[in-house]
Structure 1
Amino acid sequence: MRLWSLHPSMLDRAALVACWREGLLAQKVLADETRGYRHHPQLRRFRAHAAPMDATGAYLGALRAEATERGYRFDPSRIRRPAAVSDVAPIPVTSGQLAHELEHLRAKVRARAPEHEPHLPPPGAAPAAHPLLRAVPGTVEPWEAA
């Protein structure tokens, strides 16, 4: 499961679609409707939120907005608790995590969609966070898989 911390505009088609599917799965896990992925480390930040389902809805809403802008059709009825990002408390994410994810995405893009690489910030630049997330100073998050 990869719930990207990066702004959805940076994701290539494959990453955006996969993140949508995995966000829907996260929503199901947080609603306690599946046994799989219950202990997935990336869900910690949503579980720690005061309103996990609202946070997940806002996260998915931002993904859907990016998909719509690109001409994709992500079904809004799949979002159980639609919420505007502005109505949900932000989730902190470290600058180190964002940098780590950007390089991870860059490697994936080079392999599967090199034409997308110019859409990524240059190496060393500070990447933008997903609209629900707020960048704070720090290293890679402890929940990140090595």
Structure 2
Amino acid sequence: MRIWSLHPEILDRAAIIACWRETLLAQAVLAGSTRGYRRHPQLERFRATADPLATVGAYLTGLADDADRRGYRFDRSRILTPSSPSAAIEVTDGQLAYEWAHLGRKLEARSPQDAQRWLVSEARPHPLFVVVPGDIAPWERP
């Protein structure tokens, strides 16, 4: 499961679609409606918030907003608690840099055009996140 800390507009088609699906799975886990992935480390940052379902809803809303911009049809009715990112989650600059490099490797392998766009872009966080100094997140499995 990869729930990117990066801004959705940076993600290529494959990454944003996979992220949407995986975050819907994360939402199901947080809602208690599935047995799988209950201990997945990426869920720690959502569980640490006052309202995990609203927070994951804000994350999904950010993905859907960018999907709309691209002309994709993400079914917003699947977001259990749609909301705007009112309470930001911290992400370290080390984590953002790690994900940025990880995305670059993926793009080089599957999408040379997107890899070229990636080269002239910069790492920016999803609207839900605020960047703070620090290393790779402890839940990350490098």
Q: TM-score, normalised by structure 2?
A: 0.96
Aligned to 1:112: 110
In the aligned structure 2, how far is the partner of 1:48 from the partner of 1:128? Answer: 22
d(CA) in 1 for partners of 2:129, 2:119: 18
Contiguous gaps of at least 5 residues in structure 2: none
Mapped to 1, the partners of 2:126 and 2:9 lie a distance apart of 9
Matches within 5 A, 1:30-109: 30-85=30-85, 88-109=86-107
Report the RMSD for the aligned CA atoms in angstroms. Answer: 1.2
Superposition TM-score, scaled by structure 1 size: 0.94
TM-superposed CA distance for 1:121, in Å, is 5.3
Corresponding position of 2:17: 17
User: Structure 2: which amino acid aligns with 1:15?
Assistant: A
- 2: CA distance between counterparts of 1:12 and 1:3? 14
- Give structure 1 stretches of 5+ with no counterpart: none
Counterpart Cα distance in 2 of 1:97 and 1:121: 18
Task: Output the CA distance in 1 between the equivalents of 2:74 and 2:48.
Answer: 27
**Among 85, 109, 132, the residue aligned to 1:136:** 132
Q: Percent identity among equivalent residues?
A: 56
Equivalents in 1 of 2:120, 2:97: separation in Å? 11
- The number of equivalent residue pairs is 142
Amino acid of the structure 2 residue aligned with 1:142: P
Task: Return the letter of the residue paired with 2:19.
Answer: C
